[in-house]
Amino acid sequence: MLSRTVGAAIFIVVAMFVWHSFGGGQSSAQAGTWYHGADGYEQALAQQKSSGQPILLYFHTEWCGYCKRLERDVLSTPAFEQRYGSLLKVKVNPESSSAEHKLAKDYAISGFPTIFIVSAGTPGEPIVGYGGADEFYSRLQQAARN
Protein backbone atom coordinates (compact mmCIF):
# COMPACT_ATOMS: atom_id res chain seq x y z
CA MET A 1 0.00 0.00 0.00
CA LEU A 2 2.82 2.39 0.89
CA SER A 3 4.57 1.82 -2.45
CA ARG A 4 1.34 2.72 -4.29
CA THR A 5 1.07 5.94 -2.34
CA VAL A 6 4.71 6.83 -3.02
CA GLY A 7 4.25 5.95 -6.69
CA ALA A 8 1.16 8.15 -6.95
CA ALA A 9 2.96 11.02 -5.22
CA ILE A 10 5.91 10.73 -7.61
CA PHE A 11 3.53 10.67 -10.58
CA ILE A 12 1.79 13.84 -9.36
CA VAL A 13 5.10 15.66 -8.83
CA VAL A 14 6.36 14.65 -12.29
CA ALA A 15 3.05 15.65 -13.91
CA MET A 16 3.16 19.07 -12.22
CA PHE A 17 6.78 19.56 -13.34
CA VAL A 18 5.92 18.67 -16.95
CA TRP A 19 2.82 20.93 -16.90
CA HIS A 20 4.86 23.84 -15.57
CA SER A 21 7.79 23.22 -17.92
CA PHE A 22 5.63 23.14 -21.04
CA GLY A 23 3.58 26.26 -20.47
CA GLY A 24 0.93 25.46 -17.89
CA GLY A 25 2.60 27.66 -15.32
CA GLN A 26 3.77 30.49 -17.55
CA SER A 27 3.33 33.96 -16.17
CA SER A 28 3.12 35.65 -19.56
CA ALA A 29 -0.38 36.39 -20.74
CA GLN A 30 -1.81 34.26 -23.50
CA ALA A 31 -5.13 34.76 -25.26
CA GLY A 32 -7.88 34.66 -22.66
CA THR A 33 -5.56 35.15 -19.71
CA TRP A 34 -4.90 38.12 -17.50
CA TYR A 35 -1.89 39.50 -15.72
CA HIS A 36 -2.61 40.34 -12.08
CA GLY A 37 -1.54 43.14 -9.79
CA ALA A 38 1.29 45.63 -9.94
CA ASP A 39 3.80 42.94 -10.91
CA GLY A 40 1.51 41.84 -13.72
CA TYR A 41 1.26 45.44 -14.89
CA GLU A 42 5.06 45.68 -15.05
CA GLN A 43 5.19 42.41 -17.02
CA ALA A 44 2.56 43.71 -19.45
CA LEU A 45 4.49 46.98 -19.91
CA ALA A 46 7.64 45.00 -20.71
CA GLN A 47 5.75 42.84 -23.19
CA GLN A 48 4.17 45.97 -24.70
CA LYS A 49 7.62 47.40 -25.38
CA SER A 50 8.57 44.35 -27.43
CA SER A 51 5.21 43.62 -29.07
CA GLY A 52 3.52 47.02 -29.39
CA GLN A 53 0.25 45.51 -28.11
CA PRO A 54 -2.04 47.86 -26.15
CA ILE A 55 -2.81 47.07 -22.51
CA LEU A 56 -6.31 46.88 -21.06
CA LEU A 57 -5.80 47.92 -17.42
CA TYR A 58 -8.77 47.00 -15.22
CA PHE A 59 -9.09 48.31 -11.64
CA HIS A 60 -11.64 46.44 -9.51
CA THR A 61 -12.42 45.37 -5.96
CA GLU A 62 -13.94 42.23 -4.48
CA TRP A 63 -16.95 44.08 -3.03
CA CYS A 64 -17.84 46.02 -6.21
CA GLY A 65 -21.14 44.77 -7.62
CA TYR A 66 -20.63 46.55 -10.93
CA CYS A 67 -17.19 44.92 -11.26
CA LYS A 68 -18.78 41.50 -10.78
CA ARG A 69 -21.41 42.28 -13.43
CA LEU A 70 -18.75 43.56 -15.85
CA GLU A 71 -16.69 40.41 -15.39
CA ARG A 72 -19.72 38.14 -15.76
CA ASP A 73 -21.43 39.94 -18.65
CA VAL A 74 -18.39 41.07 -20.65
CA LEU A 75 -14.85 40.23 -19.58
CA SER A 76 -15.36 36.48 -19.25
CA THR A 77 -17.31 36.02 -22.50
CA PRO A 78 -16.14 34.55 -25.80
CA ALA A 79 -17.36 37.72 -27.54
CA PHE A 80 -14.98 39.85 -25.47
CA GLU A 81 -12.10 37.47 -26.15
CA GLN A 82 -12.87 37.52 -29.87
CA ARG A 83 -12.93 41.33 -29.98
CA TYR A 84 -10.16 42.15 -27.53
CA GLY A 85 -8.14 38.97 -27.11
CA SER A 86 -5.08 40.58 -28.67
CA LEU A 87 -4.84 43.16 -25.87
CA LEU A 88 -2.55 42.55 -22.92
CA LYS A 89 -5.04 42.39 -20.06
CA VAL A 90 -4.22 43.34 -16.46
CA LYS A 91 -6.48 43.14 -13.38
CA VAL A 92 -5.55 45.26 -10.37
CA ASN A 93 -7.31 45.20 -7.01
CA PRO A 94 -6.02 48.27 -5.12
CA GLU A 95 -7.08 46.72 -1.83
CA SER A 96 -4.87 43.64 -2.19
CA SER A 97 -1.47 45.24 -1.43
CA SER A 98 0.38 48.52 -1.10
CA ALA A 99 1.86 48.13 -4.61
CA GLU A 100 -1.61 47.83 -6.14
CA HIS A 101 -2.84 50.73 -4.01
CA LYS A 102 0.04 52.89 -5.27
CA LEU A 103 -0.72 51.96 -8.89
CA ALA A 104 -4.37 52.98 -8.39
CA LYS A 105 -3.22 56.24 -6.81
CA ASP A 106 -0.88 56.86 -9.78
CA TYR A 107 -3.89 56.44 -12.09
CA ALA A 108 -6.10 58.63 -9.85
CA ILE A 109 -8.73 55.89 -9.44
CA SER A 110 -11.84 57.26 -7.75
CA GLY A 111 -14.42 54.57 -8.55
CA PHE A 112 -14.84 51.00 -9.67
CA PRO A 113 -14.69 49.51 -12.17
CA THR A 114 -12.21 51.70 -14.02
CA ILE A 115 -10.52 50.62 -17.24
CA PHE A 116 -7.77 52.25 -19.27
CA ILE A 117 -6.36 51.37 -22.67
CA VAL A 118 -2.62 51.96 -22.38
CA SER A 119 -0.83 52.41 -25.71
CA ALA A 120 2.94 52.87 -25.89
CA GLY A 121 2.98 53.30 -22.11
CA THR A 122 0.45 56.15 -22.23
CA PRO A 123 -3.04 55.69 -20.77
CA GLY A 124 -6.09 56.94 -22.63
CA GLU A 125 -9.21 58.37 -21.06
CA PRO A 126 -10.63 56.13 -18.32
CA ILE A 127 -13.82 54.14 -18.66
CA VAL A 128 -15.45 54.44 -15.24
CA GLY A 129 -18.45 52.42 -14.14
CA TYR A 130 -20.57 49.83 -15.88
CA GLY A 131 -24.01 50.39 -17.38
CA GLY A 132 -24.41 47.25 -19.43
CA ALA A 133 -22.55 45.26 -22.08
CA ASP A 134 -23.59 47.30 -25.14
CA GLU A 135 -22.63 50.63 -23.56
CA PHE A 136 -19.36 49.18 -22.29
CA TYR A 137 -18.38 47.77 -25.70
CA SER A 138 -19.14 51.14 -27.28
CA ARG A 139 -16.99 52.98 -24.74
CA LEU A 140 -14.21 50.42 -25.02
CA GLN A 141 -14.21 50.59 -28.82
CA GLN A 142 -13.93 54.39 -28.64
CA ALA A 143 -11.09 54.16 -26.11
CA ALA A 144 -9.24 51.59 -28.23
CA ARG A 145 -9.36 53.96 -31.25
CA ASN A 146 -7.78 56.86 -29.34
Active site residues: 64, 67
Nearest CA among 65, 85, 61 for reference residue 75: 85
Give the Cα separation of 68 and 103 in Å (integer): 21
Report the b/e string of 41-51 with b at 16+ CB within 10 A: bebbbebbeee
H-type alpha helices, 53-124 = 65-70, 78-84, 98-106
Name, in order, each residue with C-beta under 8 angstroms of 106's C-beta and a sequence gap of 6 or more: none
